[in-house]
Amino acid sequence: MTDDALRALRENARLAELAAFPFDFDIGRAAHGHVEEVRLASGAPLEVVAGDATGGTYFVCADGSVLYADSEGSAGLIGSGVDEALEIIIGLAEDDDEDEEEFRDDLDAARAELRAALGFPERSRAELEALHKVALLRTEPDFVLLNATEHNAYELLDSYPRPPLWEPVLASGRADLALLRSGEHTAWEEVAEDPVRRRLALRAAQFDRADGDLALLRHLLRHERRSSMTDELRLAAVLVGLRGDTGDLPLLHEVRETDFDTACGLGGMPEADASAQELREWARELDESLFGTDPSDEPVSTWTDLARDQGMTELARVTLIRELDAIVTDQSRLRRPDAPRTLATAPLSALAHDFEGLGDLPQALRAQQLYAALQESAWDRASARHTQARLERDAGLLSDATRTLTAVRDALATPGDDSLRDWQRVNLGRFIAEEHYRLTLALADADRPEEARALLTAADAILGELSENAAKGVRELAEETAARVRGIS
């Protein structure tokens, strides 16, 4: 990939004019930037190199790939480099008025001149379309464009089908399952000892159930108990139980008694003297309610979690952004089937948690802000806004965090319902007080003494309302914060 063509356009006015008209790749428009501030979801840099007459923009990415964004909110890669992108633009350009032979002749002449000057080979339309398709299909996950203010993603330029998320995520698990089935002892230990490989192998076994897998499933189950109560531990127990071998009941009970969480998570397990039918029925009920054999039926979070754990960060991030965008655009997606007038907002809280785990605070805040706005009870609003303030503080948005904590105090003062009647005696009150002190420290560190003093006063007032038990864990932080504020001018 080279930028020879771009250099030639910048150095030769005639070639730049030809590229701008009739091919609408105008390097003169680069100075105007895009119609709105944008960034890549990955955070990688972008350089504007050209624009077109419709308000679209051509960007060069860090690896040289060319990303085109139109003015209507769609974007995608159009070439592996500027040379390839220009080849495709020039070669696939068509005149708007196909009935005017003179215009077609002018377009063909311009195409021939520009191709020759830039040293482009003669390629068939089919070749260029194939190159274009390859580029477009590389857009996700590494080159997804976001509005830099609202943080929503641009739509894809194309409608080519992509593989479902679970396919790339599960690929290594399928390979490890095949390795386990080969019976190679070293592989059994390597896969079982690695928590991520173990989870993926179990997921692969969930969707590819073979009669000869019982021994390897027992092996994975024994090792998965080290992670305590995971979805994959329950899955492993179910896959073993489905075989109906009562000789596995001692192992299943041993796993269940690993700790308190496993005892709860594997509750309802048949007793040690249960029949094969009882064992199979227990496993079948859990399988039908929680697992099954179609990876498309799994919650998206199953695959984004496994993608993240494998280091497929951008794949997880982009999938979660698309999920959040869909909810922001249509909040009716949150309606509960059993109560259509009620919104189930837990998916937003889960998205905020997942984005925070990825270190993507702007997206975490976007999800948390909507989650907080949709809460109905005073308790839920105060709790959600407390979390929002923490995220804002972590993101360095100290003024936003200060305003959000003001909303939290308003909810405590005038709740509008009785859900907060005991906030002074429970963890919520302690957490709110702690966040006030932590934000006060952040304001002091940012050399904003007046704001720090004002918030310290509010924090002390909240601490004064807490019960003795709730206040106990906050006093050390309160003293540290007061000393820090006294130390600033």
Could you tell me what percent of the chain has a pLDDT over 90? 94
List residues bridging with 69 in a β-sheet.
Answer: 57, 75
Question: Do residues 144 and 235 both lie within one domain?
Answer: no
100 pLDDT above the threshold of 70: no
The arithmetic mean of pLDDT across residues 129-147, rounded, is 98
Structure-block tokens of residue 2 = 């080279």
pLDDT band at 98 (very low <50, low <70, confident <90, very high): low
Residue 321 lies inside a defined structural domain of this protein: no
pLDDT band at 184 (very low <50, low <70, confident <90, very high): confident
Model pLDDT for residues 23-63, shown as the tens digit of each residue = 999 999 999 999 999 999 999 999 999 999 999 999 999 99
Higher pLDDT, 3 or 228: 228
Q: Which of 297, 316, 335 is the last residue of a domain?
A: 297
Question: Do residues 44 and 117 both lie within one domain?
Answer: yes
111 pLDDT above the threshold of 70: yes
Return the pLDDT at 1: 45
Residue 340 lies inside a defined structural domain of this protein: no
Question: Do residues 183 and 140 both lie within one domain?
Answer: no
Question: Do residues 147 and 238 both lie within one domain?
Answer: no
The arithmetic mean of pLDDT across residues 170-182, rounded, is 97
Residue 473 lies inside a defined structural domain of this protein: yes
183 pLDDT above the threshold of 60: yes
Question: Do residues 414 and 270 both lie within one domain?
Answer: no
Question: Do residues 177 and 288 both lie within one domain?
Answer: yes
Higher pLDDT, 427 or 3: 427
The arithmetic mean of pLDDT across residues 284-294, rounded, is 96
Return the pLDDT at 349: 97
Residue 16 lies inside a defined structural domain of this protein: yes
Question: Do residues 141 and 181 both lie within one domain?
Answer: no
Residue 391 lies inside a defined structural domain of this protein: no
Question: Do residues 11 and 52 both lie within one domain?
Answer: yes
Question: Do residues 195 and 86 both lie within one domain?
Answer: no
Q: Which of 95, 121, 156 is the last residue of a domain?
A: 156
Please state the domain count of the chain.
Answer: 3
The arithmetic mean of pLDDT across residues 377-382, rounded, is 97
Question: Do residues 205 and 71 both lie within one domain?
Answer: no
Q: Is the peptide bond before 347 cis (omega within 30 degrees of 0)?
A: no
Question: Do residues 152 and 11 both lie within one domain?
Answer: yes
pLDDT band at 403 (very low <50, low <70, confident <90, very high): very high
Mean pLDDT rounded to a whole number for the chain: 95
102 pLDDT above the threshold of 90: no
The arithmetic mean of pLDDT across residues 344-356, rounded, is 97
The CA distances from residue 146 to 36, 176, 303, 353, 363, in Å, are 10, 36, 22, 20, 11
Are 456 and 414 contacting, i.e. CB atoms less than 8 angstroms apart?
no
Are 164 and 295 contacting, i.e. CB atoms less than 8 angstroms apart?
yes
Q: Which of 239, 264, 297 is the last residue of a domain?
A: 297
pTM comes to 0.93
Question: Do residues 148 and 181 both lie within one domain?
Answer: no
320 pLDDT above the threshold of 50: yes
455 pLDDT above the threshold of 70: yes
How many C-alpha atoms does 261 have within 13 Å on its Cβ side? 9
Residue 80 lies inside a defined structural domain of this protein: yes
Return the pLDDT at 337: 86
Residue 198 lies inside a defined structural domain of this protein: yes
Spatial distance between the Cα atoms of 107 and 18, rounded to a whole number of angstroms: 10
Are 415 and 378 contacting, i.e. CB atoms less than 8 angstroms apart?
yes
The arithmetic mean of pLDDT across residues 127-138, rounded, is 98
Residue 261 CB coordination number (10 Å):
12
136 pLDDT above the threshold of 60: yes
pLDDT band at 96 (very low <50, low <70, confident <90, very high): low
Spatial distance between the Cα atoms of 398 and 327, rounded to a whole number of angstroms: 27
Return the pLDDT at 97: 54
| Domain coverage including residue 15 | 4-156
86 pLDDT above the threshold of 60: yes
Give the residue from 140, 125, 480, 485 showing the smallest Cα distance to 319. 140
Provide the edge-to-edge strand list for the sheet that holds 74-79: 46-51, 57-61, 66-69, 74-79, 155-156
Residue 364 lies inside a defined structural domain of this protein: no
